[in-house]
Amino acid sequence: MIAQKRGCEDMGLVCHFRNITRHEVLNSKLQMDCCNTDYCNGNHVPFPQLPIQLGYDNLWNTVFIISFSTISILILYISYLLYKRINGGKLFPKREQSYQNNANHVEREYLNSDYKPEVKVTLPGESTLGVIDDGTVTSGSGSGYPLLVQRTLAKQITLISCIGQGRYGEVWKGLFHYDEVAVKIFYSRDEASWHREIEIYSTMIVKNENILPFIGSDVTSVNSCTQLWLVTTYYPLGSLFDYLNMNTLTIETMYSVMISIVSGVCHLHTEVFGTHGKPAIAHRDIKSKNILMKTDRTCCIADFGLAVTHKQTLLNVALNHRVGTKRYMAPEVLKLALQENNFQSYMMADLYSLSLVLWEIVRRTESKHYPAFNYMVPYQGMVASDPSFDDMRRLVCDDNRRPEIPKEIETHLPKLSNIIKETWSGNPKTRLPALRIKKSLINIWKDTFETMA
């Protein structure tokens, strides 16, 4: 507020006897205009605007406010940087974690419901910038960092439950883009098998319904442990081994299962020539646990960790410490007489293992003439549950023993029994090739149902 006052003042020390004198009092907002004639203050001259002068206390107050504001802003900025560094570059980690937990809950609820949305949505996940920061990005092939960082396969899959476990790893059921998948997780010591399976799948450009469909692979880390992932189609009925343990087959289903398995082996053993062909492949570990049961009661072959390939006289045998299943090994393998440089030798060993799988299937088939027999693995009751090489060599090679085919089966299914016997022959050269077995089974199946009709 500015107050103006006119009058006579006895301030001789301030006002000198002049005609209108202006004085400013130090450290105050008082300004005086003095005159000493009659009615001299009648001619009013407007007071000029007083300059703002900061006193000593006001100056320090201003400096304090500016300094405090600057320091506060600096502290807040440093705190923000520390908080972001501690939480891995994520501004709201709890919110993101809550969202991920909610996403996992949604996926699990999806599995337990009958509702299958037609539109399949990929749930948003961590930012790729965060992936770069934490250093967990992989190329998906085990070869290191990709040129363009993307969200890898392992980060897009939600593991639901473990459905299998063995010496070489685990198999999990998971969700990928709301589709059920099987995730085979290899232990790091079995990296050779993981690499071999990827290599085999990459060569099979020519697809076949009796070979397990391959989706992708990845290398990831869980609790500081390296995991090697192989992602394939998921089949809820599990392996043929599991299915035969719990179920019996009809004659029609038996032929469907057998023909599909033999078709898969035939596809593997056949080299396809052309612009986009495939090499011939020998599996080397055919058994009921490596064959998966599909919902249409056909089968597909899995696990190519020991496979060898052959393409135009070039044999590719991968170095691998892993060996096949001793119970299913051919006599020449047990005697260490396999011709390792001859691809036909590997194919003949596959056919011997195939004959044992056919024997497992036919025992679990019920007919109007006889009931299904209890499930047995090959040579059950003849050797221990985990036989040694020497045990199997003495039984299969020295004693020339084979699993017993029940008399009821030999009587009513003589042609099928002969196929099994010819295929597990001790002489590899006399075993029936896969294509011949396939044709014979199809003809027997047609004859059987024409007779029934």
**What angle (nearest 5°) sits at the alpha carbon of residue 311, between those of residues 310 and 315?**
40
Positive/negative CA dihedral, 54, 55, 56, 60: negative
Q: How far apart are CA 367 and CA 411, in angstroms?
A: 12
* Residue carrying the six token digits 């195939």: 354
- The reply to whether 285 belongs to the active site is yes
Catalytic residue among 190, 218, 285, 350: 285
CB neighbourhood size of 220 (10 A)? 18
Cβ contacts of residue 421 below 8 Å, gap of 6+?
Answer: 355, 402, 405
343 neighbors 315 (Cβ within 8 angstroms): yes
Nearest-CA neighbor of 91 among 129, 132, 135, 137? 129
Tell me the C-alpha distance between 268 and 347, whole Å.
9
The three-class DSSP label of residue 318 is coil
Q: Tell whether residue 184 is among the known ligand binding residues.
A: yes
Look-up: residue for tokens 């004659």? 251
Query: Distance of alpha carbon 149 from its chain centroid, rounded?
Result: 17
Sequence letter at residue 387: P
Contact 372, 249 (CB under 8 A): yes
Q: How far apart are CA 116 and CA 319, in angstroms?
A: 44
Q: Which of 320, 318, 314 is nearest to 271 (CA)?
A: 314
The two three-digit tokens of residue 6, written as one number: 């006119």
Centroid of chain to Cα 430: 43
- Give catalytic residue positions: 285
Annotated binding site for ATP: 184
Annotated binding site: 184
